[in-house]
Chain A
Amino acid sequence: MIQQLIFGIVTGSIIALGAIGLSMIYDILDLVNFAHGDFMTLGAYLTFLFNVSLNLNLILAAALGIILTGVISLILDKIMWKKLRDKGAGSITLLITAIGLALVIRNLIVFQWGGSNVGFDLPLSQNLNFHGIMISTSGVLTVVVAALLMIALDLILRKTKIGKAMRALSDNKNLARITGINVDNIILWTWGIGTSFAAVGGVLYGLNTVIRPDMGWFLLLPIFAAVILGGIGNPYGAMVGGLIIGISQEMSTIILPSSYKIAVSFVILILVMLIKPEGIFGEK
């Protein structure tokens, strides 16, 4: 039981890291970014590239992989999303573009690294054993990193001009423009933060399990569930939603075969939609 709870917190931290970006990007760009999971995968593979193929130590490799993933999302905004926005593309167009982008990223990954599992070059790590309850060092690392990033995000949103402008934009885009807020610039910050958080989630996922081309795609459903549970557009809700989904998934393995894990997030997703579609922290 406690063992499952611990697994759940680890999984939940990874889901939360993905959910934060998905939620912010939806809120500020009106874009349901179906490629978000694949950015998690990309972050893991780029880290793998620096770590295993180029022999850098894992921390440096992860930093490079994560930053590079963020930079790629900025470039994509400049060459693609901004053009669509300026043309006034509707949400369906944006959605289909995102699905297309997801496929492109995944296929490029398969093309480059093949379809089978890979793993980081890890220093041998021991599991910590507390009276029979196992905690892996990567699990501890995951929770610590996720917690630090969430605190950092909270500080950004509450204390910096950019963060306040993000909240202003999520309140009222038209007023933000009228006020003189540089909307395109704030959108770039949103991509940068959202996608690099996703990449961190992907790397942590790879640390705890393995790296596969479809890992992000399969993380997307629990991430959606977390976003909706926490109230779309609320990064704090996404954090809590992620943890709840992660813990529910792992706890379910006590009574259900573990292949049903993913169904758990699906059930939660549907229940939230039926009972409280605005999410647990939603105001309306």
Chain B
Amino acid sequence: MKDNNVLEAKNLVAGYTDLDILNGVSIELKEDEIVSIIGPNGAGKSTLLKSIFGILKPRKGKVIFKNEDITGLKPNKIVKKGMSYVPQDKNTFPSLSVRENLEMGAFIKEDGTKEKINEILTKFPDLKEKENQKVSKLSGGQRQMVAMGRAMMLDPDALLLDEPSAGLAPNLVDEVFQKIEKINKTGTPILVVEQNARKILSISERGYVLEMGENRLEGKGKELLNNEEVEKLYLGG
């Protein structure tokens, strides 16, 4: 493929009950990109990530990952294909230590886990100090770092993040965004859902605005930042 897409969702239709929440959503994530998805509460942003990752089975449409059709595969299969996902909440194992959480991230790997844990702990120095503490004892920001670290344990070819800055104090929000950029710089394409539209768009190559389970707008991160409609609706301008 010339368009160097790593991940592509085509016309996804999905829902929890008879009602469709996604009514044909399409997105693309290319190599080396950060792509953001913004939109009002209940737009279907989390539902989109769940449908891509196989937690919810799409009713129509396709999910293509590294040129392979993975539509409808279960999450444990999709992990093995090389995608990682950090859910919006409950994204750590609270009674396990930081180190054990990371270790679980590499459950499907036979070896090299120790080295990888150490590598990740150097990337997240705050966690290094607390590596043997239970995650339930950590702050919200540190827990989010554990969740992202856990997802990075397999060196994924695509990383899905659902509202990584939700519920964090402003200074921590910046730290999380820096980490996202850093992870991306090491070659991991990231698809991220965010409420914090201004911040995420400013570090994204491209962004999508979702509304009522449909694509509303899309464009380069900078373009969306300057788009009147987006400004009015999401940037409080």
A and B held together in a complex: yes
List A residues at the B interface (Cβ < 8 Å).
Answer: 161, 164-165, 167-168, 170-172, 174-183
Distance (whole angstroms) from the CB of B25 to the closest CB of chain A: 21
B107 and A165 contacting across the interface, CB-CB below 8 Å:
yes
9 further contact pairs, Cβ within 8 A, besides A167-B93, A180-B75: A167-B95, A168-B96, A171-B94, A174-B55, A176-B104, A178-B85, A179-B79, A179-B105, A180-B80
Chain B nearest Cβ from A166, distance in angstroms: 11
Write out the residue numbers on chain A whose beta carbons fall within 8 Å of the beta carbon of B90.
172, 174-175
Contacts of B55 in A (CB 8 A): 174, 178
27 contacts between A and B (CB under 8 A): A164-B103, A164-B104, A168-B96, A171-B93, A171-B94, A171-B96, A172-B93, A174-B55, A174-B90, A175-B87, A175-B92, A175-B93, A177-B75, A177-B76, A178-B55, A178-B79, A178-B85, A178-B87, A179-B79, A179-B104, A179-B105, A179-B107, A179-B150, A180-B80, A180-B107, A181-B76, A181-B107
Q: With contacts A178-B53, A178-B55, A179-B105 known, is A171 near B76, CB below 8 A? A: no
Bound form: Cα–Cα A222–B94 in Å: 30
- Please state if A161 and B103 are interface contacts (CB–CB under 8 Å): yes
Which residues of B sit under 8 angstroms from A182, Cβ to Cβ?
Answer: 76, 107-108
- Given A164-B103, A167-B96, A180-B108: A175 and B91 within 8 A (CB)? yes
* Distance to closest chain A CB from B224 (angstroms): 29
Q: How many residues of B contact A (CB 8 A)?
A: 24
Shortest CB-to-CB span from A173 to chain B, Å, is: 10
A216 to nearest B CB, angstroms? 30
Distance (whole angstroms) from the CB of B144 to the closest CB of chain A: 14
Alpha-carbon distance A177/B87, docked complex (angstroms): 12
Q: Quick check: is B181 within 8 A (CB to CB) of the other chain? A: no
Interface flag for B205 (CB, 8 Å): no
**List of B residues within 8 angstroms of A170 by Cβ:** 95
CA distance A134 to B90 in the complex (A): 53
* Listed residue (A164, A165, A177) with the most chain B CB atoms within 10 angstroms of its CB: A164
Cα A175 to Cα B96 in complex, Å, equals: 13
10 smallest beta-carbon distances between A and B, as pairs = A180-B79, A171-B93, A180-B108, A168-B93, A181-B107, A168-B104, A178-B75, A164-B100, A171-B95, A177-B75
Q: Closest residue to B86 on the A side, CB-wise?
A: A178
Contacts of B105 in A (CB 8 A): 179
